[in-house]
Chain A
Amino acid sequence: SQQGEEDPQALSIQEGENATMNCSYKTSINNLQWYRQNSGRGLVHLILIRSNEREKHSGRLRVTLDTSKKSSSLLITASRAADTASYFCATDEGNSGGYQKVTFGIGTKLQVIP
């Protein structure tokens, strides 16, 4: 089963614009992570935000987390054609049964037009 739901499922923007993707989830979490996937490849970790954090930055990435609404957003500023990829949020429900239960959403497919 997939915990997160990303919105929108597809996004097309011009190079230089900002891209915002949203994620909603259902259960209590230990942290929320965002991953990127280029077509036909594995996932690459972008950023992790803990449940007691509200905002985090990494380069051109900004992530927010609202645990009361069970939602997160990923903002990519000044987008580049190389940012074209699918972006997934993943919720970590903590050490359930002795491991990190990391569950992925269905993703947002971002296209950045040069």
Chain B
Amino acid sequence: DTGVSQDPRHKITKRGQNVTFRCDPISEHNRLYWYRQTLGQGPEFLTYFQNEAQLEKSRLLSDRFSAERPKGSFSTLEIQRTEQGDSAMYLCASSPDSVATNEKLFFGSGTQLSVL
């Protein structure tokens, strides 16, 4: 399978717990994005990696959120001390080139987080 893979597909957690999501982009894609999507809304940008460097973070990404892409391949998104407002679909996307413009994004199926 050469698509973007996200794990887990679903996560149910209790308020206050920490959760970690994983994204495996398409091999050799340099750019990696995390988005968050709530019901009835479009995806909202969270953060962007170019290879292993995290180049941009949204104001939506509070101190409880941290993302890494240690070797420029897979990425993890951790949420500490989860709150009910964190309940959402977390989407990962990748695109091929660090330099080119006009690239489309390839999305994974997302991780649906429910905080009880």
Contact = CB atoms under 8 A, between A and B. Distances in A.
Interface of A: 1-2, 4, 30-31, 33, 35, 40-45, 48, 50, 88, 90, 92, 94-95, 97-107
A78 to B, nearest CB: 24
B111 to A, nearest CB: 10
B43 A104 contact: yes
Contacts of B42: 2, 4, 88, 104-107
Contacts of A35: 105, 107
Interface string B43-76: 1110010100001100000000000000000000
Interface centre among A48, A97, A98 (most CB of B within 10 A): A98
Contact of A100 (B6, B89, B101, B108): B101
B102 interface: yes
A4 B48 CA distance: 20
| Chain B interface extent, by class | 20 to 34
17 contacts: A35-B105, A41-B110, A42-B6, A43-B43, A44-B107, A48-B102, A48-B104, A100-B31, A100-B95, A100-B101, A101-B45, A102-B45, A103-B45, A105-B42, A106-B40, A106-B41, A107-B41
Interface of B is mostly: strand
B101 A98 contact: no
Contacts of B104: 33, 45, 48
Interface centre among B6, B33, B42 (most CB of A within 10 A): B42
A83 to B, nearest CB: 19
Interface of B: 4, 6, 31, 33, 35, 40-45, 48, 50, 55-56, 89, 91, 93, 95, 101-110, 112
B63 to A, nearest CB: 20
Contacts of A44: 107
B37 to A, nearest CB: 8
A6 B50 CA distance: 30
Contacts of A48: 102, 104
| Interface pairs A-B: 3 shortest CB-CB | A104-B42, A42-B107, A45-B104
Contacts of B55: 97-99
B110 A30 contact: no
